[in-house]
Amino acid sequence: MKFKKTLAVSAAVAGLTAGAGMSTGASAAEFITIGTGGVTGVYYPTGGAICRLVNKGRKAHGVRCSAESTGGSVYNINTIRAGELDMGVAQSDWQYHAYNGTGKESFKKAGPFKELRAVFSVHAEPVSIVARKDSGVKTVDDLVGKRVNIGNPGSGTEATWQVMWSAMGKKKSDLKLAAQMKSAETPAALCDNKIDAFFWLVGNPAALNKEAATTCDVTFAVVDNAAIKKLVADNPYYRTATIPGGMYRGNPNDTKTFGVGATFVSSTRSSDNTVYQVVKGVFDNFKQFKKMHPAFGGLKESEMIKDALSAPLHGGAVKYYKERGWM
Ligand code: GLU
């Protein structure tokens, strides 16, 4: 609680700082806020890890970073666009759609978000459908007629659900219930038999998936049919993916699915100096960064600066990548 309050204060200060037009000063203290996701997901600890490394050097560079729990990808992109967040974590599919003004009604209406900037990509996010074993759900097609949490409004999860479900030729009424709880609420709802499955896109291992798998018997459903194969073939931001066997209790075998990449984004509103300091914090301390969450174990610098990114790289990131001889 106390921690939360501190975050809220920092966010307010960040708003004031940006509003006062001080965001380019390198010497004055500069407060930046990173939008993440639910507290039991991987985005929230990702934002926390980035900020911890940035804040290590804050005496020298003056940038002070805080991570905020949010509704997820779409919320983060919209809030960066509104100038109320400096940076955020977002799924690669919604980074692509925001930049191009495609993919969902609200993005089409708003038009291309040409000021959106990619900073780097992080972990892979496979589509995870976690079902109670006694629901009988073994594949994505078995969700018809079931009670499913499809993701909270503002999440990349919910937005990708709509794309996937309609690509399969299905409507909302093909589910018995399309719940929109926040991710943190879903393990209890699943194990209390209020829903049969929850759907989301998340890095592995995720605390929330572990919570569900240790509280009741669950199955990770296979997400691989003709419609999914076509989605992956037709769109650059989707990949086939695997949820590793043995990672979650009761699921010894690999689960075939598809997924996106988690990416770190900002906009042209953030100064080159700020983004440079954030990127430097992560890549100057890369060994330490990789140890900060088990989902980061396989990350490689060379992939992070180009894979799953569709908006142009931010100038501050380019500056650092050039200094390191990576570009
Ligand atoms: N990919 C999810 C979303 O944007 C968030 C996952 C997480 O919190 O780690 O909805």
The tens-digit pLDDT sequence of the chain (327 residues) is 333 333 333 433 433 343 333 444 445 789 999 999 999 999 999 999 999 999 999 999 999 999 999 999 999 999 999 999 999 999 999 999 999 999 999 999 999 999 999 999 999 999 999 999 999 999 999 999 999 999 999 999 999 999 999 999 999 999 999 999 999 999 999 999 999 999 999 999 999 999 999 999 999 999 999 999 999 999 999 999 999 999 999 999 999 999 999 999 999 999 999 999 999 999 999 999 999 999 999 999 999 999 999 999 999 999 999 999 999
Using the mean position of ligand 1's atoms as its centre, give its distance from the Cα of residue 72 in Å: 5
Please tell me whether residue 40 adopts helix, strand or coil conformation.
coil
* 281 and 208, same domain (yes or no): no
Residues 205 and 316 in one domain: no
Same domain, 43 and 119: yes
| Binding site membership of 45 for ligand 1 (Cβ less than 6 Å) | no
Q: How many CA atoms lie within 13 A of 230 on its CB side?
A: 10
Listed residues 225, 242, 260: the one ending a domain:
260
CA angle 151, 41, 226 (to 5 degrees): 50
Q: Where are the beta strands (DSSP E) in the chain?
A: 30-35, 63-68, 87-91, 116-132, 147-149, 177-179, 197-201, 218-220, 239-243, 255-267
The number of domains in the chain is: 2
> What was the pLDDT predicted at 250?
97
Residues 146, 255 within the same domain: yes
**Same domain, yes or no: 129 and 237:** yes
For residue 20, the model assigns a pLDDT of: 39
Q: How far is the CA of 69 from the centre of ligand 1 (A)?
A: 11
Q: How far is the CA of 295 from the centre of ligand 1 (A)?
A: 13
User: pLDDT value at position 29?
Assistant: 84
Q: Is the CB of 161 under 6 A from ligand 1?
A: no
Task: Choose the final residue of a domain: 206, 237, 260.
Answer: 260
CA-CA distance, 158 to 164, in Å (whole number)?
10
**Does residue 49 sit in the same domain as residue 153?**
no
Predicted confidence at residue 188, as pLDDT, reads 98
CATH number at residue 32: 3.40.190.10
What span, in angstroms and rounded, lies between the C-alpha atoms of 87 and 267? 7
Question: Residue for token digits 């969902």?
Answer: 104
User: 62 with 164, same domain?
Assistant: no
Residues 91 and 51 in one domain: yes
Boundary of a domain, candidates 245, 260, 275: 260
Cβ(94) – ligand 1 distance below 6 Å: no
List beta partners, residue 149.
Answer: 179, 198
CA-155 nearest atom, ligand 1: 10
Domain shared by 177 and 232, yes or no: yes
Does the C-beta of 202 come closer than 6 Å to ligand 1? yes
Look at residue 27 in the predicted model and tell me its pLDDT.
Answer: 56
- Range of the structural domain that residue 187 is part of: 125-260
DSSP code, position 86: S
74 lines ligand 1 (CB under 6 A): no
Give the amino acid at 195.
Answer: I
Q: Are residues 47 and 112 in the same domain?
A: yes
